Amino acid sequence: MKFLIVGLGNIGDEYANTRHNIGFILADALAQELGVKFAIDRLASRAEARFRGKTIVIIKPTTYMNLSGKAYRYWLEVEKVDIENSLVLVDDIDLDSGVFRMKLKGSGGSHNGLNNIIEMLGHSNFPRLRVGIGSNFARGFQVDYVLGHFTRQEEKIFIERIPFGVEMIKSFISAGATNTMNSYNNK
């Protein structure tokens, strides 16, 4: 059985450690936990690992956030992964900083990366792990906020919470989405 884990973010040093790149940060933490490194491949940085007898392909699209769907669809097809065995790691301004919530489907809301995935797939029925980054910004400043760097307080929160997110991903792979949502979503 094969799984595709897709961390959303933007490539480039200017985007490192920004709120919008929490998907990349979580993908990096998962790769480190599984003892694998990323290499540049088609449309993404890619790492491959084994976990509990399953093949895990982790990607970080190099298409920039707003075109994430191109890389996601490509790697689903190339790796022949069923959509229910894929998981998109994405920032969410509608959740408080450090809150992790798994969903099986839903709209993209104001998130351009999710909206591009929905557009490329033609539907919104794909699992995602939403990572709360809060919404501490004035009206009209959402872009500046999500592309902004973490505050020291946020860094502390995420340093403590990233291992929890990795555990959720591992649970998704070993126990499935429904069991993971029941066990982790409200913690």
Catalytic-residue membership of 20: yes
Radius of gyration of the chain (CA): 15
Between CA 50 and CA 52 the distance in angstroms is: 7
Angstrom distances, CA of residue 100 to CA of 52, 92, 96, 178: 23, 9, 9, 15
Q: Is the dihedral of CA 175, 134, 124, 17 positive or negative?
A: negative
Catalytic-role residue among 20, 111, 123, 149? 20
Residues serving a catalytic function are 20
